[in-house]
Each structure stands twice: as structure tokens, then as C-alpha cells.
A and B are shown apart, each in its own frame.
Chain A
Amino acid sequence: MRIKEFQDMIYACGRCNYCRGQDFNERCPEIFTQIWESSTGRGRMAIARGILEGKLDYSEELGERIFGCFMCGRCREECKKAAKIDIIAITKAMRADFVDQGVKIPESGSSMVNIAVSSGNIFADSPAAHAKWAQGLQFVRGSGTLFFPGCLASHRFKEKTNILVRLLQAAGYTLDFLGDDQTCCGTPLWITGRTADAKKWAQNYLRKLKKHGVKEIITPCPSCFRAFDEEYPHLLGMEKFPIRVRHTGEVLEEIVEKKKLNFKVPINKRVTYHDPCEIGRYRGIYEPARRVIRALPGVDFVEMERNRADAFCCGGGGAVKITYEHHSNTVAEERIRDFVRSGAQVMSTVCPACEMNLTHGTYAADVQARVLDVAELMAVAAGIVDREILETDYFPED
């Protein structure tokens, strides 16, 4: 059992319930949707301990509690004050135990992985569809700086991704692109417990990147960013990934800091920022996007009440969007309520999964608002795209 590796942590849980919070469900999106104590970090440690002691078994029914975790890291963040338990690592190990023991996992989760493996992306689109967003753009093969959009940015946000690349290129970045060779980074594998397959995937991908002469990867997707920067080295037993990996958030800040673009067009909107879990809590990166937004003309920046390390998940994490879509939408709707309370007109973030889920949240909450990538705001301010994309009646073609 993979959770055996975490035995000391599991027994270290002092059952203090910091993970649950002050209002029983204001921190953890899983208990927000599933209501049970078994959905909390503390509850999961009790379950893991029960399994270790032979008092509980993995079962298909248990799947909703383990695969219904958004892996947002809010409980782990709180546990830093207490026993410092890596609840996310334990959850991943539990998911892998499901697979190792042949216990059925949510059907849609397994299909997503199978689809990603067979088609190269989580949407089962043909390889040719990968590059549609790039029409009209020029890339420099062998430049060494690979733009890696990931599945969501490639297949669901073609216009946003196109704008992002135009912005980066206008700022002077010489980008390469894998074109039809680009496939999913492999996140669906480890997030659904397919650890053994994940290693093979990472080996092959690294070989492909090296062959392509990649020295640096720039990606807008926090999951892809962490895949290359954290998961691959872990899977491949490396201290450090041999290729530099940067999330676009860092690059966008570089553009502002080094004055690579001139921002003249006023945004004239009240804007808030949603911290993606995998950039914020996972990596402690909270300020760059905020500094970028504040640097744009005509932005009235406001915070949502739950922000930075306390930010509520968008509902898109942990593959819950795929496995339990109704839970995912419930959480997105709640996050949109945070947005409404903030008085902002535009919700911005730096994660395609958050952008998609929060957009769905606006539909569920019946709120007319645009959810934009910070790069889109920059592109408007730099005069690269028309400011019409800021308006609620604007619908991207994709």
C-alpha cells in the first residue's frame, strides 16, 4: 500500500480540526459539497489510519470521498500550523492504492486518462486540433524557448491562448511550439492514481523535449508547470528537471518589470484576482499577478475576502471537474459569490482550468461577468487586442 510510506504523518494527525475552519465548510471545497467529516483533511487521516490498521478497505463507495477531493491544498496550508501533514501527497497515494488494488474509480476519471493516453489530450480531439489556436502565428523551431499551452489552453481557450502568445511575442520572446507533437503533460495519470504509467509518460516526454532542443518551457497552465517542474523530477528520480520551467505569471511580471511593453490603453474596470491553487498555495506565488494588474492603467484592483493562502478553490482541481462535475460547479458558483461580494467587474486569474470553471460558475450563479487571464488584460492595455474583450456581452469565437 502506497499510504504506508506516509504512516508517520497519518498518525501525527492531532485531530485538531484546523483544516475544517471556523464555519465548518468555508475552507474545504470537498466538505462544502459533500458535507461529511470524512471529506476533511482530518477525516481523511482517520480513514487512512483505518485502512492501515485493517479496519477499513478501499471500496468503490469510498471513491467519492477520495476522488471528490479538489486537491486545492487548503487543508494542507492550515496543517502547516499543526502537524504539517502533506494531505495532498496522502490523497494521491490513496488514489494510487485504488488503482493498484483494482478498486473501481469514478468511471469518468478512468476515461479521461484513457482518452489522454490514446488521443494525446483530455478532450479526445485529433492531434491536428492541438495547433488550431496558433493559426496565423509564427514560431521559431529550435529557439530553445518552448511555449507549452497544455490541453485546456489549446482546446478550450483558443482565442485566449492566441492573445497570450501575441503578447509574449510582442514583448520579444522567441517562442518554439511542438505543433502536432504536443500531447498532454500527463497530469491526468497521477491525479487518478496511474502512477506506474505516469513514469513511462514522463520518460518519453523528456526524451521528446530534449530532441526538440528545448532549454526552457513557458506554460500558462499551473498543472503543466508543476508537471514538468515537480512531478517529472519526482517520477524520474531527479533532483531537478533538466529544463527550466516557468509559468506565464512569472513571465508576465518580467514584461512589466523590464518594461518590455508600453501599457497605454486604460482598462477602466474594477478587477479582482483569483489565486489558482497550484500557483498560490502549492508554490507560494501570490504577488506577481497582482503587481502586473496594478501596473495596468485604469485598473481599480480589489481583493475578494478569501485570497492568497486563504483563497477558495475554483472547483476545477483534483480532476473533480471530470469525476463529479456537479460538485465542481457548486464550488465555482460559491467562488463567483465571493467575486460578486468584492464588487469587481472582471475576474482575472492565471490558470486555464480556473478560467473555465469560474466561467461556468458565472453561468450557474447567473452573473454577467468576464473571467479573463491576466495576459488578456495586459494585451488590451498594450493595444494588442481591442478592449471589447473586457465587456460582458463579448463572446469569444471558441
Chain B
Amino acid sequence: MVDAAKITRLLAKVVGPERVSDKDFDLIPYSRDLSPARQKLPTHVVLPQSKEEIQGILRIANQENVPVYVRAGGTSHWDAYLAQEPGIMLDMSRMNRILYINERDLVVTIQPNCTWAKLDRELRKHGLTYLCSEAGGPAMTVGGSVMKAGAGPHSTAKFGCHGDQDVITLEMVLPNGDIVQTGSAAWPSAGKFERQCLGPDLAGMFIGAEGILGICTELTMRIRPATDFKERLIAVMPSLDSVIEFGHFINRNVGDEYLQGIYLWVDPNAPDVFTLMMDIFGYEAEIVEHRKKKLSEEVKKLGGSLGDRGPADDYFGHILTGLTDIFATGVWHFFGAGTLRIDDIKFVYDVWRTELLQKRGYRKAGFGGQVLPRRWLAFMVTNYHEPGDWDELVRMAHEIDEIILAGPVIPYGIGGRDGLRDIVASHDTGYYRLLKTLKRTLDPKNILQRGIFIPEEELQ
């Protein structure tokens, strides 16, 4: 049982009374995310401004045995920050500064709650941009994306998930309050220029861990020149086989260089129409034109046809400012999602078509996927109405998740008790056991993100 008044007093000593609240109306906005996860209320919300304040908060949490949950832009899709137990919600909003743009080494150092949109805006003033990003609208943060190893439509066809190529160094506050730097930043007299240079890749341990091993307080990310050329294509392919062959063409025949993004969409009311939207990569007009020609030829060779690029421009052009219509009719939910080999996209598609459309008669969820270098990130996605559609959606999504993850698909986004953590735990792999060992070692009281990724009872 959390002694709310006592914790409020203690937190106020660290951040000042103006940045801690235990009022019910201040807590309720932190009780849901973008998923259908059940409402979960924290006991406190705190807005830290520095790593030292986070250290202080973690000391209190350890001393009082109160869990701490970490929220960035608040746009997670799988119960990834909601308070699984009564505890302190860290709203990282105020740690959003761009600290240093290093144009010589092509890296940028930022605080975790800097949004992709803000970063892009500033970098473009220098003719630069970041490597890749998810799609999540203006509130989506760099720290949030990296801590979940997110992927999405912007340049991930070339650069992969967050953490594959973009992260250089991290600064993490560990659950016991220690501060650790990764990569070249671990060598204080060097600088922030390289991720893998001193022993094991500790950044990799934190990337995708959904905050259970430490709180990110600073990131150094690779950046690149911005390209002025925007060439997008839309292709309608005749079959999923042709989509798969096109995916191989991208990876093998033309390398990962050709596209910044490639997005497959299949509408539930037209399950045999496979639409591909492509964002061509290239720094020079001649190169972009050449790539466009090769891609167009391959589309035709595979029996596809090219259409008006307008929707692709709209899609890739609004990744940061907000994709219209996604939230038009209520809450958006991803399920049956994960990463898989190029050839295995058929498995996910078949589950979508037979289990969702045919057996369950649910025709509101589309099927989509992003080609990443040499693999897919595939998903089913729907808009639904709360509270009316909630029961049916949650039950159905869970059934589909179980079927999908029994196949050749690695779960994307684990989250809390309304996420995928139970499915992950049930696999009980050596990897999972090592993760639990790491968690117990770094966070013996299970303070940080308690109940996220690993059920609490698994750590007792």
C-alpha cells in the first residue's frame, strides 16, 4: 500500500511541489495509452527535469518500495507504460531539449523526450535529418521509440528499426540510481561517435527493453544529410507472392539503398488487392530517377500496375505531423504484430484472412506491413469504438496474437498484463531467463516498470 501523502512529500523535496501531483484529475490522463489496455491509475505523477532528479526519485522509490513507470509522449500501443501497480508515473515531457548538433561527426545529442518532429525541424535548418522514424504523430519521442526498438515507415526500409543503425550512445539511470554511459561515451576522454567500441554493446541491452533496466536520460543519434528529392510510387500488385518477390528484389537485386520506406496495405473489404506505397531514397535527382525506373520496371514485370502517387505523398508526408484518418473514428489498435522473414509474410496474411475475416467475420481490421532490410514488420490494425466494441476486440485480438506468435513471428512491443508479456513468459526461453537474471541483478526490488515485459511473479 502506497502512503500517498508521504510519497508526495518526499517527491516534492526532489522536484519541488509544483512538479508533483497526487490529485485524481491529474492522474487519470495517465491511466490509458493508445491501446485497449484496461485503465490503470498511478498514485503520483512527477515531471523531472534532470538525471539528478531522476536519481532522487529512484532512491525514494527503492526506499519506499514503490514502482516507477516511465512515460514519454504517451503514444504507446501495448500497455507499455501504464502503472501495473499503484506507483509513480514519470512524465518525461520536460526533458525534451536538443543538446548538441555535431555537423562534423554527423551525430546529435538530445534528451529523450525530444520528439522526432522537433528534431527533424531543427536538423533541417542545417540541411540534415535523422536516419529513420516510426509513424506516430507529433508527440512521438526519440527516447520512447528507441526504448521499444520501434519501427515504422520513415526510412526503415533502409535503416531498419530504431537501434539497428541510428543509436550511437545512451545515458541511462539504472534502477539503483547509478548513471551509465554506453558506447564511446563510456570512455570519458573520447566523445560520442561510436556505439560498439568497448566490450559488449551495452546500448543493445537497453534498446527494446521497454525501460525495465534503466531510464534513458540522453541519447546520441546518427544523423545524415537531408535529401531534397521526394519521389513516391504506388503499385497495386496482383498477389502476395508478387509482393514477396518484390521484397526480395529490394533486398537482393538492388540492395537496401533504393527505398526509404515501403508500406504494404490490404483493405479488409478487398483482401486480394495488395497496395504498395514506396518512398524512394537518393541524394541526387539522377539516382532517384534511375531507382524509380528500376522499381517501376520490376513492378510491371511482376504483373503489378502503378497508380497515382498522391496517397503515398500524403502518407509519407504526414508521418510526423499526423496521419489523417487514423484516429478519425476512435481508438487505433495494432494486434497480430511482429517481425518476420520476407517469405513468412504469407503466414500472417493467411491468419488475417482465414481467422479474422472468414472465421470471425471481423472486417474492420486491415493488414499491413513495412519492409525492413531483409525482413518485415507486419501487423493488423483497426479503429474501434470504446466502450461498445471493447470486449469483442480485446478477446479477438488476444486470440489472433496467440496464433500469430505460435508461428514464425517475433512479438513487437511486449508491454504489461494487457500486452504480450504473458505470451512471452510462456515461452520460457534461455533468452527470457537471462533477461530475468539481468532484471533481478540491476533492479532487485523490481522498482522500474514493475509488471512491464516480465510479470511480477516471474521475478519473485
Contacts and interface: CB of A to CB of B under 8 A. Distances in A.
A binds B: yes
A37 B91 CA distance: 9
Nearest to A20: B139
B29 A46 contact: yes
Contact of B25 (A15, A22, A62, A82): A62
A20 B96 CA distance: 14
A293 interface: no
Contacts of B321: 81
A18 B29 contact: no
B328 A15 contact: no
B74 A22 contact: no
B74 A17 contact: yes
Given A18-B137, A22-B117, A83 B28 contact: no
Contacts of A20: 73, 138-139
Contacts of B115: 22-24
A117 B28 CA distance: 37
Interface string A2-17: 0000000001101111
A297 interface: no
A43 B26 CA distance: 8
Contacts of A246: none
Contacts of A14: 34, 326-327, 330-332, 383
Interface in A58-88: 59, 61-62, 65, 78, 81-84
Contacts of A36: 21, 26, 29, 45
Interface in B65-82: 73-75
B386 interface: yes
Contact of B387 (A11, A47, A59, A78): A11
Given A16-B75, A17-B138, A22 B121 contact: yes
Interface string B13-46: 0000011010111101111111000000000010
Nearest to A12: B330
Contacts of A23: 96, 115, 118
Contacts of B327: 14, 16, 18, 81-83
A38 interface: yes
A376 B32 CA distance: 50
B28 A22 contact: no
Nearest to B114: A23
Nearest to B97: A23
Interface in B316-352: 320-322, 324, 326-332
B181 interface: no
A238 interface: no
A328 to B, nearest CB: 18
Nearest to B31: A46
Interface string B85-121: 0000001011010000000000000000101011001
Contact of B29 (A25, A38, A82): A38
A35 interface: yes
A364 interface: no
B139 A81 contact: no
Interface residues of A, number: 34
Of A15, A24, A46, A47, the most chain B CB neighbours within 10 A belong to: A24
A132 B137 CA distance: 52
Contacts of B301: none
A55 interface: yes
Contacts, number: 121
Contact of B45 (A18, A25, A37): A37
A21 B324 CA distance: 15
Contacts of A248: none
Name, among A37, A46, A47, A55, the residue most crowded by chain B CB atoms within 10 Å (CB to CB).
Answer: A37
B32 A15 contact: yes
A55 B28 contact: yes
Which of B47, B74, B91, B94 has its CB near the most chain A CB atoms (within 10 A)? B74
B28 A50 contact: yes
A56 B25 contact: yes
Contacts of A11: 330, 385-387
A40 interface: yes
A65 B25 contact: yes
A22 B32 contact: no
Given A16-B137, A37-B91, A24 B96 contact: yes
B33 A12 contact: no
Contacts of B19: 35
Contacts of A37: 26, 29-30, 45, 74, 91, 93
A144 to B, nearest CB: 45
Contacts of A59: 25
Contacts of B137: 16-18
A272 to B, nearest CB: 21
B322 A82 contact: yes
A56 B28 contact: yes
Choose among A25, A38, A55 the residue with the greatest number of B CB atoms under 10 Å from its CB: A38
The residue among B18, B73, B138, B386 with the most chain A CB atoms within 10 A of its own CB is B138
Given A23-B118, A83-B327, A38 B139 contact: no
A290 interface: no
Contacts of A65: 25-26
A38 B25 contact: yes
Nearest to B92: A24
A330 to B, nearest CB: 13
Nearest to A45: B29
8 contacts: A11-B330, A16-B139, A17-B75, A50-B28, A56-B28, A62-B25, A83-B327, A84-B328
Given A14-B330, A15-B34, 9 more contacts: A14-B331, A16-B327, A17-B74, A18-B137, A18-B138, A22-B115, A22-B121, A37-B91, A61-B25
Interface of B: 18-19, 21, 23-26, 28-34, 45, 47, 73-75, 91, 93-94, 96, 113, 115, 117-118, 121, 137-139, 320-322, 324, 326-332, 383, 385-387
Name the 5 nearest CB pairs between A and B, nearest first: A14-B327, A17-B139, A43-B29, A82-B327, A22-B117
